[in-house]
Amino acid sequence: MQMYIILPLLLIFGPLLFGVLVMLAPGWRFKTPLIVLSALVMIAGAVLLALQGSFALSIDARIMKALPLIELLIIAAIIYIGFRIKKWLVIGLGALQLAIGLASEMLPHAAHEHVSALNVDLLSMIMVLIISVIGSLITVYAIGYMKKHEAHGPEQMRSTGLFFLFLIGFLGMMNGLVLSNDLKLLAIFWEATTLCSFMLIGHDRTTAAGESAYRALWINTLGGAALMLASLLGAAGGGPESLDGLVAGGALLPLALICLAAFTKSAQLPFQSWLLGAMVAPTPVSALLHSSTMVKAGVYLIIRLAPGLGDTRLGQVVAITGAFTFALASAMAVSQSNGKKVLAYSTIANLGLIITCAAIHTPLAYAAAILLTCFHAISKALLFLCMGTIEQSIGSRDIEAMEGLMRKMPVTTVIAIIGMVSMMLPPFGMLIGKWMALEAVIMSPLVLFLLIMGSALTVVFWSKWIGRIQTVAYHPSYKVEDVPFSMFAAKGILLSGVVVATVTVVPFFKRIIGPMAVAAFSGVEVAPRSWDLMKSVDSFIEWPLFAMLGFVVLVLLLTIKGINKSHVREPFLCGENLEGARTTFEFRSLMDKGESARIRSYYLNPLFGEAHLTAWANPVAMALIFVMFGVIGK
Amino acid sequence: MITVDPVIIALLAIVAVPFVGAIIMGLDRRLTARMQGRVGPPLLQPIYDVLKLLRKEPIVVNRVQVVYACLHLAFMILCVVLLALGQDMLMVLFVLAFSTIALILGGMSVRSPYSRIGSQREIMQMLSYEPILILMMVGIYLINGSFMARDILVSGKPLLLSLPLLFPAFLLVMTIKLQKSPFDFATSHHGHQEIVKGITLEYSGPFLAILEIAHWYETFLLFFIATMFWATSIPVGLLIAAVCFFGVILLDNIVARLTWPWMLRFMWTAGLGLAATNILWLYI
């Protein structure tokens, strides 16, 4: 067999195999090397696949015939889980999937043999790289994390072996999802990721974990049903049952159904609750769900279908829905003091932004969508890994409790600050992506307005958080915190990833993403203005930004050593500072009494409180989804 | 037309701009003094102040604040350079935001309640004016068909005629950015701020000088944007900037400081409303 056939199979089934091995391996002595080995194999496989170049792969017809059987098995698993957790909603949705699956078996499959089952093109290569590299780093991080979690976690939780089976297996299923072109295959991988996330979110088996896992299951099963229905409608219309067939065919109803499925998976309003609930899981799970897998499946699908959405009303409504999620989720993040929730809302918001970019139908926006997907994956994975370390160390997720973190864990804090800065400031990739997005949506006023408001709000919650964790009194030196090597290594590699990606963002755009967008939109009618914008972004000179940053670093390196204890004074407190006070927030007040000043951040709860924003945002988002289906018939 | 090497333009901007900014600040102090019935300091007083600050012993609360002071100045300079090179104006705004966030984080890095409150208020200021600035660039794009500063004259028509409502919105932004009443709650030029010097409280000596110099660049930048509203004729542009200057200082001297919730509400209704209305008719 040739190499190019082995690679996709390795990337899809390799993780499953490794997951089983890790599960069976007794003790950490055997588990650790196996996890590291699986990470190395995955990374190597993904890089080799990227070097291989594009190709399509058809699968033997006999294997394709077995697909409905696998699908049936998965649906049976969902229904079984529904019975186990006694939730009629899950059973009902499982039954719905079963009905759709059976109906599609009744139909004759004319076009089935002609489609390639797997498609390896630039977009799926990028996705495979994101999944395999970032996902594998997270599994390595999980070694250190789960050792601690085993010792301190709830008693009734599932075995760590099972955890790694689903964690590593998840990556394989995701790889399958982004590589498959055949809709039936896609639906199988889609459901498999849903099941994996159900198991991972419910890992601790606490009441909260159980509820969150259930919510994740039913929302994503609903999405899965929409996806299967899209495939059924495609087949019933005599069209090909493949993604590129759908793009070329241009039938709108299947596209809208796939968009709905993507909304559920990418936790767009009103489906955001499952991703928010998912934070009860161990942090590696959150990191995986938020950065490289699961939620990225949704946006991947919309990017994939973007040229097919065309300049239709459907595309416009999808763009507005994404922009609405971006603005509202950013606003909700402002009011949160729970760090993991801020990260979750930021993920939801950025996914909305990516969806908007994918649906707006200009080459520049398409390029921005891909850029944002890449950069968001790296930065968000890094931030979650930092968050996990912080949480395990200080025992809290509350941002207000992270005061003085710089003293307790300087390395993690600095990494977290860089991670947060990379989410909002130039010259980091996310900002470059956001800048391109703003320029690309210029002809859609409503979308533009929502994006502008969302961007302004984004800056608020990140800078509040950075301000909280970096606050520090003068210390001549810092003691580096004690973090397990696996956790440290994963963060270190991701951090260098952020830096490298930042420095190479413009060449990356010019060499790879730009041409990809041009290719995807060749032959598609777009406004001439959008090509002009593409050119103007193409001519962007980034070196002054880096030159300035480099200059500052140089100046600081030269001067900062010169500052020593003799230059340090206590801050002004409008009263005498208390000698030897634990914090310099304490000062001598009336009658020599010690007084402590405490400053909380602004959370603007009356304005951006989660409960009352959700109360009207969810119905509006729901309405937008109805509009999405409504405009098809028009 | 004579073509000048962009590097020379950039260097010229880096060197000349702070002087212009300092003189504007000096004029500000003179004019304010006259409005208050005082004689006021010499025109070059801001420069004297900074020269003296630079010679002082470096006093800090921690090292982190030094990092942010330098970042604040560097990215403010970068804004001016990008603008001088005729680059993308949205990017200029983002670089300006970087600079402001560096200032905010510098204020938050120290354990001082006054400085922290100042920083929090500065964040609220950004939240209030950032959307208006971006909408302004959108307006300019809709007229010129380009985000590039070098294409500002493409339409051949003064921007003010097409952006009559965005201009007062920009004036409000300018009042906030110049730390003038009624919006001077993060920090103030006057010594009667209830949180002392707010965001810049814990900076002293050469590091305070760095912030002052950055403020010169920022002042120039704002008045430069004001002149862009009538870029077709430089005298008219300058006249507009002068009117803005006078208006902002007059406002500073006749109104009291308000609260940040009031500012947020006001800017998101009146300011954003003006800007959005103006943009709306450009689309139709």
Q: Which two tokens stand for residue B190?
A: 């006057």
Within a domain: A92: yes
**List of E strands, A24-178:** 55-57, 118-120
At a CB cut-off of 8 Å and minimum separation 6, what does B161 contact?
A: none
Per the structure, the count of domains in chain A is: 2
Judged by a CB distance cut-off of 8 A, whether residue B57 touches chain A is yes
Is the predicted pLDDT of residue A7 greater than 90, yes or no? no
A123 vs A561, more confident? A123
**Mean pLDDT of the B194-222 span:** 90
Residues of B in contact with A602 (CB under 8 A): 120, 123-124
For the packed helices B166-177 and B205-228, what is the interaxial angle rounded to 10 degrees?
A: 170
Residue pair A397/A391 in contact (Cβ under 8 Å)? The answer is yes
Compute the Cα dihedral for A339, A343, A344, A349 and give only its sign: positive
Within a domain: A608: no
**Mean pLDDT of the A495-509 span:** 89
Instruction: Tell me: cis bond preceding A606? Omega within 30 of 0 counts.
Output: no
A584 pLDDT band (50/70/90 cuts)?
low
Closest CA to A512 of A307, A366, A393: A366
Judged by a CB distance cut-off of 8 A, whether residue B217 touches chain A is no
Is the predicted pLDDT of residue A582 greater than 70, yes or no? no
Choose one of A309, A340, A373: the last residue of a domain.
A309
Residues of A in contact with B62 (CB under 8 A): 472-475, 568
**Stretch 11-30 of chain B: residues touching chain A, C-beta under 8 Å:** none
Q: State whether A303 and A319 are in the same domain.
A: no
Q: Which two tokens stand for residue B94?
A: 């983002």
pLDDT tens digits for range A406-461 = 888 999 999 999 999 999 988 888 999 999 999 889 889 999 999 999 999 999 99
Choose one of A309, A343, A363: the last residue of a domain.
A309
B151 pLDDT band (50/70/90 cuts)?
confident
Q: How far apart are CA B72 and CA B199, in angstroms?
A: 13
Is the predicted pLDDT of residue B204 greater than 60, yes or no? yes
Q: Which residue has the tokens 């002004």?
A: A572
Q: How far apart are CA A497 and CA A429, in angstroms?
A: 11
Q: Do A438 and B101 touch (CB under 8 A)?
A: no
What rounded mean pLDDT belongs to chain B? Answer: 90
Is the predicted pLDDT of residue A329 greater than 80, yes or no? yes
Residue A542, pLDDT score: 78
Q: How far is A288 from chain B (nearest CA, A)?
A: 29
Judged by a CB distance cut-off of 8 A, whether residue B43 touches chain A is no
Choose one of A309, A340, A364: the last residue of a domain.
A309
Is the predicted pLDDT of residue A578 greater than 90, yes or no? no
pLDDT tens digits for range B217-257 = 999 999 999 998 998 888 999 999 999 999 999 999 999 88
Within a domain: A545: no
Give how far Cα A381 sits from Cα of A131, A377, A389, Å: 11, 6, 13
For A553, nearest residue in chain B (alpha carbons): B67
Residue A595, pLDDT score: 74
**Mean pLDDT of the A142-164 span:** 88
Q: State whether A288 and A350 are in the same domain.
A: no
Helix (H) or strand (E) holding B66: helix B64-84
Judged by a CB distance cut-off of 8 A, whether residue B122 touches chain A is no
Q: State whether A299 and A381 are in the same domain.
A: no
Q: State whether A276 and A235 are in the same domain.
A: yes
A589 vs B135, more confident? B135
Residue A583, pLDDT score: 53
Is the predicted pLDDT of residue B126 greater than 90, yes or no? yes
Is the predicted pLDDT of residue B2 greater than 70, yes or no? no
A538 pLDDT band (50/70/90 cuts)?
confident
Q: Do B114 and A574 touch (CB under 8 A)?
A: yes
Is the predicted pLDDT of residue A515 greater than 70, yes or no? yes
pLDDT tens digits for range A15-54 = 999 999 999 988 889 999 999 999 999 999 999 998 888 8
Is the predicted pLDDT of residue A372 greater than 90, yes or no? yes
Q: How far apart are CA B272 and CA B1, in angstroms?
A: 39
**Mean pLDDT of the A348-353 span:** 96
- Beta strand pairing status for A594-596 and A118-120? unpaired
Q: Which of A576-580, A597-601, B244-248 has the highest mean pLDDT?
A: B244-248
Q: Which two tokens stand for residue A173?
A: 């299923």
Name the residue range of residue A350's domain: 311-537+625-634
Q: Do B126 and A572 touch (CB under 8 A)?
A: no
Q: State whether A260 and A325 are in the same domain.
A: no
Residue A437, pLDDT score: 92
Q: How far apart are CA A483 and CA A469, in angstroms?
A: 18
Q: State whether A207 and A321 are in the same domain.
A: no
Give the residue from B63, B105, B146 with the most A CB atoms within 10 Å of its CB, the best one to mutate.
B63
Residue pair A465/A339 in contact (Cβ under 8 Å)? The answer is yes
**Mean pLDDT of the A254-264 span:** 93
A324 pLDDT band (50/70/90 cuts)?
very high
Q: Do A453 and B131 touch (CB under 8 A)?
A: yes
At a CB cut-off of 8 Å and minimum separation 6, what does A426 contact?
A: A432, A435, A545, B91, B94, B95, B98
Q: How far apart are CA A362 and CA A364, in angstroms?
A: 5
Closest CA to A123 of A115, A114, A131: A131
* Adjacent-strand bridge partners of A57: A118
Residue B155, pLDDT score: 78
Q: Do B111 and A426 touch (CB under 8 A)?
A: no
Q: How far apart are CA B196 and CA B177, in angstroms?
A: 18
Q: State whether A299 and A433 are in the same domain.
A: no
Is the predicted pLDDT of residue A130 greater than 90, yes or no? yes
Q: State whether A283 and A341 are in the same domain.
A: no
- Show the CA angle centred on residue A472, arms to residues A468 and A473, nearest 5°: 150
Within a domain: A389: yes
- A205 burial level (CB within 10 Å; 0-12, 13-18, 19+): middle
Within a domain: A603: no
Question: With a cut of 0.90, is the ipTM above it?
Answer: yes
Q: State whether A295 and A434 are in the same domain.
A: no
Q: How far is B172 from chain A (nearest CA, A)?
A: 17
Within a domain: A619: no
Within a domain: A566: no
Q: State whether A337 and A207 are in the same domain.
A: no
Is the predicted pLDDT of residue A526 greater than 80, yes or no? no
Residue A2, pLDDT score: 66
Is the predicted pLDDT of residue A617 greater than 70, yes or no? yes
Residues across chain B: 284
Within a domain: A10: yes
A131 pLDDT band (50/70/90 cuts)?
very high
Q: State whether A354 and A490 are in the same domain.
A: yes
**Mean pLDDT of the A538-560 span:** 84
Is the predicted pLDDT of residue A110 greater than 70, yes or no? no
pLDDT tens digits for range B39-58 = 999 999 999 999 999 999 88
Residues of B in contact with A549 (CB under 8 A): 74
Residue A113, pLDDT score: 53
Q: State whether A482 and A388 are in the same domain.
A: yes
